[in-house]
Structure 1
Amino acid sequence: MRHERKVLVGLMMALTIQSAGNLAFGNQDSIERLGKDLTCFGAIRAGNADGSIPPFSGELINQSGNTESKSTGHHPDNPYAEEQPLFVITAANAGEYQDRLSPGQKALFQRYPDSYVMKIYPSHRDFSYSQSVCDATLENARSAKLLNDGEGLEGRAGGIFFPLPKNADEIRMNTTLGAMYAWTEDFISDNAHVLANGKINWGKVHTTALAPGNEPGKTSHTSNTPQSSYYLNETLLPLRDKGEVNTGMNAWNYATSPLQSWRYDPGTRRVRQSPGYGYDMAYPGSGGAMTVDETRIFSNSGHRYNWSIVGKKEIYIPYNNYGIHSSELKYVDMLTKGHINPEVMRYELHRVWVIRAELKDGYRHLYSKRDIYVDEDSWFAIMGDNYDSRGELWRTSLVNYIHLPELQGWHSGVGLYHDLSAGDYLAFNLINEQRQGYKINAGNLSPGDFGPEAARRAGR
């Protein structure tokens, strides 16, 4: 069954601010607003008209009470654990909230009318950024620029590149090459592909990643930091793929330096380059439930699509969902048929940019159109609606971001990728039953820990 042909409604709705058009031009007047009526990231500091979205407070939430009291790698504490939902959206009352729901959310209500619900909690905008990140972002507001028709950029690393975006390409590059990715990451996670009949195909991956330009206390520029990021994923499950290693690196300009990737095959004990890696290739270990360029909703090159800004919208999105990462939760209680147990989800009302990707003539991809919902406060893509070749909604996805004190920013947590036709979903980056959580900014990685030689070492 295919779902939802309706176009987003209510976009560019009346907000308690100047029109979005005033926010989309990086002129001197707009730049002067950063850190004032706009946050240093360019978000609207004010709340909305009815108070359901609060003003940005900028108070740093330190979940552990003291940044030194728990080392990185712990399961995150929940600063809002005592809060109760304001209300619950069900299939029966979803029509009352349709202007604040995405097509993907509406489709989930239609697909699972007896079980899918959304618990809506008070909205919080309590996090802040270090002054160095704000300084880098202000510098970028004055001088950062796109290159090669939006496939590359030039600016100061460690900050948002386009806090006052002029077009969808600038928003896209904020989400894919933004400042708030961790400097170093090291964690083991479980991936559960939950089939329509409830059976689960399990995966387990050891992930390490490095973003050199985001090293705390270091000033970097795209011109002197050759790679924007590195990654290495070692497969631990399923057993048939155990020992497979995928590693690669991203540059600041996809046009001049496409994504490079290598794969170690434990069967042949050889490392081979993976030509053309990315786009709609199946993400390793996902069972085909997500594409390589679907990590964090959208990643890597966007050149196969024409990009446009649909508008800005107040919408219910997963936010501050620390609970879904709790070590007290067991997978058997979380991974219900059709969709994750709604009891472990938290939604809040926030403002998002909506950008649209439409496949160019002469190019191919599994998705002919993609609507991506970008949180105005963090510039992270929170949700995505993906359409098939007939223009019908096929897959809808979301990522639960959590604010970590060791990062002083948001980190990508559990992702949920729903196939509305097949009735299955992928729960990605689960850490609940792992001994540790996400080990962030420990500073124990270098470029030598990635690439073909690193894959060969890891495979031995």
Structure 2
Amino acid sequence: MTRLSLIGLAALACAAAAPASAKVTAAEADRLGKDLTCVGAEKAGNKDGSIPEFSGKWLGTPPGIQYTPNVGQHPVDPYKDDKPLFTITAQNQAQYADKLTDGQKAMLAKYPQTFRLPVYQSRRDFRYPDFVCASAKKNATSAELGDRGLSVKGAVNGAVPFPIPKDGLEVLWNHTLPYRAFSDVAIRDNANVLSNGTIAWGRVRNMGYTPIYEQKAVGKPVEGVQAWNMSFTLLPERDKGTVSISQEPLDFGKEKRLAWNYDPGTRRVRQLPEFGFDQPLAFTGGKMTIDSDRLFNGTPERYNWKLVGKREAYIPANGYRVYATTVKYADLLKPGHANPDFIRYELRRVWVVEGTLKEGFRHVYGKRVLFIDEDTWHAVMSDYYDTRGQLWQWGFYNYYYAFDMQAWNAGTSFFHDLNSGGYVGYNLFSEREKGPTLNAGGLTPAMFTPEAARAAGN
């Protein structure tokens, strides 16, 4: 084969691997706010009405709810009087199988007597602010993938870059960049629950600053730093005083995630050579990796991402029940899985994105399948497979609409190891004096430096 032929084949291979342009026509974008919601969900319900039409009747705190924003009040459930329509169990799951994920089916098989899915009326009552809609409309015709899918070009802050996506990477970037809180301060508990019900506890005081969602940044180009985060360890006692700081870029083609760690034993701050991917997340007993927080985070570089399509599925939604101050951890955290009485499932439409580990790259997950709610663009469930192709873990988040920020917030999640029978209850706060304090402001980049980590540890 000639050198010219080899070059031609290489060019064709690169072209096939390159992400397609995501820009849509003005006519397509005009659907936003009409048959599509302003961020791209199908506005209509499904044929039998089990998924209702999007109403978007509430922005912020609903009528009749007593809530003080930006002070850490626990979420208030606007649907507290709802009762389950039916419950999916190991005994009746066959009639619902087409709307269950492999992870859910595996949980029903592993815990046939205790695991169940209480299904409630689907509610699509909350909406994003108008400025989110304006950013989404602009992004639809201007945003495109850059740097081999490792960045977004031509997008503005304040909304997902691809409200009418064409491929898996675009959907994944929507999950990475939905509108959410620009400041988040909370004390969170993490429970590593062993198969016999024994719990190893962790607790952190967390502070997150995502400046691209501040009002002054909305509508400006997506560039620079995406987010800063600081975690101060309170439990376990042996690690108390450890401080971790991380900085998240927006362009993974040019920048990488940076992180520093303060060790109270040595009283020194050390920059970590790498932070992310399949490094174990602290206090989870290896049941979570750093990049499984929010089910997936960080650079997409190690996986090939395929858009499987959109389907109906029973997913955790309007997950207020688990945050009530009346919920005690002893009642919530049971052997094998969380108490289903505190979990609310609804029938929703989800985008399904499959990530398969690239040849030559390393990760404990050979494949991960994300289920992303069309109304919010947040991944709410994920099935994780090992490098042999065997289903290994199942994780899910209890998202709720936070009145403080007029958008959906990632709260408590559960990650189940289907081999060991243990699981992690991550970001628990029902027993804490306060819930997350969202969008109160007062955070600056200077609070997330190595010097700030040293000061916090001292």
Give me the TM-score of the superposition, normalised by structure 1: 0.92
What is the aligned partner in structure 2 of residue 124 from structure 1? 123
Distance 1:270 1:172 in 2: 37
**Corresponding residue for 1:160?**
160
Cα root mean square deviation, aligned: 1.4
Query: Equivalent residue for 1:177?
Result: 177
Unaligned runs of 5+ in 1: 1-23
Instruction: Determine helix, strand or coil for the equivalent of 2:107.
Output: helix
| 1:157 counterpart SS class | coil
What is the DSSP-based 3-state SS (H/G/I as helix, E as strand, rest coil) of the residue aligned with 2:56?
coil
- In 2, the alpha carbon distance for the partners of 1:218 and 1:249 equals 18
Amino acid at match of 2:393: R
Q: How does 1:383-398 map to 2 (within 5 A)?
A: 383-398=381-396
Corresponding position of 2:429:
431
Give the drift of 1:28. 2.2
Q: 1:284: Cα distance to partner?
A: 1.9
2:67–2:73 contact (8 Å) kept in structure 1 = no
Structure 2, unpaired ranges of 5+: 1-21
Superposition pairs of residues 96-111 of structure 1, within 5 angstroms: 96-111=95-110
Q: Does 1:249 align with 2:265?
A: no
Identity of counterpart residues, as a percentage? 43
- How many residue pairs end up in the alignment? 435
- Contact map agreement 1:132 1:217 (CA 8 A) in 2: no
Give TM-score scaled by structure 2 length.
0.93
- Answering whether residue 237 of structure 2 is matched by residue 239 of structure 1, we say yes
1:127 maps to amino acid: F
Tell me the CA shift for residue 283 of structure 1: 1.0
What is the CA–CA distance in structure 1 between the aligned matches of 2:63 and 2:440, rounded to whole Å? 17
State the Cα distance separating 1:316 from its structure 2 match.
Answer: 0.2
Deviation at 1:72, TM superposition (A): 3.0
Structure 1 residues 63, 187: closer, same or farther in 2, change over 3 A?
Answer: farther
* Cα distance between partner residues in 1 of 2:384 and 2:218: 37
- The secondary structure found in structure 2 opposite 1:240 is helix
Aligned to 1:296: 294
CA spacing shift, 1:80–1:66, aligned 2, 3 Å: closer
Q: Deviations over 1:220-240 (max 9, x none)?
A: 5345x5201111111110111
Following the alignment from structure 1 to structure 2, what is the Cα–Cα distance between the partners of residues 63 and 389? 46
**In the aligned structure 2, how far is the partner of 1:301 from the partner of 1:277?**
11
Aligned to 2:139: 140
Separation of aligned partners in 2, 1:335 and 1:162: 38
CA distance in 2, matches of 1:215, 1:133: 12
Residue 177 of structure 1 deviates from its aligned partner by 2.3
Q: C-alpha offsets along residues 173-232 of structure 1, whole Å, 9 cap, x if unaligned?
A: 111122x22110000010011100110000001110011110135435345x52011111
The verdict on how the C-alpha distance between 1:457 and 1:312 changes in structure 2, with shifts beyond 3 A counting, is: same
Question: Residues of 2 paired with 1:451 and 1:170: CA distance?
Answer: 32
Which moved further from structure 2: 68-77 or 35-44?
A: 68-77
Residue in 1 aligned with 2:49?
51
The Cα offsets for residues 313-363 of structure 1, whole Å up to 9 and x where unpaired, read as 100000001010111111001100000001111000000000000011101
Whole-angstrom distance in 1 between the partners of 2:40 and 2:276:
30
SS at match of 1:284: coil
Check conservation: 1:101, 1:315, Cα contact below 8 A. yes
Cα-to-partner distance string for 1:110-154 (whole Å, 9 max, x where unaligned): 010010011000000001111111111111111112111111113
**C-alpha distance in 1 between matches for 2:87 and 2:218:** 45
Determine if contact 2:65/2:78 at 8 Å carries over to the other structure. no
Q: Which amino acid aligns with 2:290?
A: V
Question: In structure 2, what is the equivalent of residue 306 of structure 1?
Answer: 304
Q: What is the identity, as a one-letter code, of the residue corresponding to 2:133? A: C
- Aligned-partner SS, 1:458: helix
